Amino acid sequence: MAVKILRFFPVLVLLAIGLGIFVFLFSLKRIAPSLACGNGTYSYIDNPKEVAIFETKKVNVPLLAETNNTDKVLGIADSPGRYIEVDLSEQKLKAWEGNELFLETLVSTGLPWTPTPKGEYNIQYKVRSQKMEGGSGKYYYYLPNVPFVMFFGNDLLPWSKGYGLHGTYWHNDFGTPRSHGCINLPTNIAEKLYFWTTPILPEGKNLVKADSDNLGTRVVIHE
């Protein structure tokens, strides 16, 4: 009997390894949120006592997007030559005006199990402040008042799936993947891009959706 068990021992080991891999991959699938960043619901958090949660840590929520001071940004975009390039391998974003570089910054894109989608998109919806919640376990996040959000999409992946560029107050580890699919930006950079990109934000408004008369800036994401 012992001889038979020893004979099948390598097979049992392989089955155990395979089961372990399956359980691990299934758990990652459960961790991944149904939406990358949020549900598109516009919301300000005015309560300064509100607390965010990211990677099991509590984070104070700033009211960064409440300011109406836009003097430090370059007005509202109106140039069709503007586009945003995101290099996933370098964890960098570059904003171009034709062949001229407007700005360059380190970013944090999606983790391996919640990757940022590669492809060519347009900004379809912009909102000054957005609550984002998702994930589970260690990777649960609750992030009120995420500032200067620019959701992007195309015909196959609409903005409502929750992928976007936005400011980040819960970490400062730019240059390293940290997100659930969105592109985390330093908040001062996100503010500049929010007003630099299209769709054009109507005066006095805090959100805008792109349409045929107000197209969104192109976003190119690649390795």
Q: What ranges do the domains of the chain cover?
A: 1-31, 35-222
Task: State if pTM tops 0.85.
Answer: no
- What CATH class does 35-222 carry? mainly beta
**pLDDT for residue 40 is more than 50:** no
Separation CA 144–CA 132 (nearest Å): 6
Confidence at 22, pLDDT banded by 50, 70, 90:
very low
Least confident stretch, 8-12, 120-124, 167-171, 193-197: 8-12
**pLDDT for residue 39 is more than 60:** no
Strands 164-168 and 119-134: unpaired
Would you state the pLDDT for residue 34? Answer: 43
Quote the distance between the C-alpha of residue 119 and its chain's center.
15
pLDDT tens string 142-167: 898 899 999 999 999 999 999 999 99
Would you state the pLDDT for residue 184? Answer: 98
Confirm if 150 and 104 have CB atoms less than 8 A apart: no
Separation CA 47–CA 61 (nearest Å): 9
Confidence at 42, pLDDT banded by 50, 70, 90:
low
